[in-house]
Structure 1
Amino acid sequence: MEFMDAAEITDVSAIQRLGIEPNDVSKLVSQAFAEMTFKHGFVHCDPHAANMMVRPLPSSKWNCFGKRKPQLILLDHGLYKELDFETKTNYAALWKALIFADVNSIKENSVKLGAGEDLYALFAGVLTMRPWSRVIDPSVDHLVLEGNDGNRSELQGVLIISISS
């Protein structure tokens, strides 16, 4: 155990006071989890905001714009899942299908990952936090993280129906 002097990942003001761009933090989190999952085959099974902090990279200097590079600090390493090659490949193929709204490939790879023939739409909705209608929408921004109450209600309704079935 070690004390880490860092900002909470959700504290944008504190991150900015450290001279770090919030967009750089967002990119770093995405890159770190993608590399952990797809390159090294590990999944941190408790990746909520309280388990992530950010601070300036110790070796980073202030750039000419008064900014510094971020360092991600992950906490709570008590539960990881190691992925085999086939699972990593299928999961990567599923995300590709989700990005391109490829219904057949979403179904195929969801089934390969164990979601079942009847639950692939629910699985895709849970992964993207989008209702199925948005998951398969071919528009460029179909996975943009600007959900509204209607989207959340639709997804919650599907989850409740699926869980009670």
Structure 2
Amino acid sequence: LALPGSAYVYQGEELGLPEVLDLPDEMRQDPSFFKANGQDGLRDGCRVPIPWSGTQAPYGFGDGGSWLPQPAEWAGLSVEAQTGDPASTLELYRAALRIRRERAELGAGDAVEWLEAPAGVLAFRRGAFVCAVNTTGAPVRLPAPGAVLLASAAPGDPDVLPGDSAVWWLG
């Protein structure tokens, strides 16, 4: 969402839903699954209906249930469970989309200045906006370029980006 251009959020991404890899063959409905003689890795696993509310399937999807089974662990990932939780993936996405909407320059233009960063860290600047993503499991030291707009992990030391996290700054 920090890059210029149109932003796309795919079904369940905003909730942090994992792809369902253990769907029973008799429940699958993807025509490609049948055309490929049951090959794994096709579309049904990412088309399982989104959990909206409740603590058990169909998680508010409807009285008739969903066409593909929803995993039990999705109870904690439902829209209802994540709404209002500042540490949730849903609220992180909502904040990122709000910031992007409020700061029109984030979606406009195509100028991206790639910044020098430690191995495993992607960092770029777009005007006064800076984004850094730490793809490693370990914290890395970065010079904090300004005020934090958004962070996917609880900020501690402003010069340290925790492992597996991202931060947006305005400098």
Give your verdict on TM over 0.5.
Answer: no
TM-score (norm 2): 0.28
TM-score (norm 1): 0.29
Higher relative strand content: 2
Higher relative helix content: 1
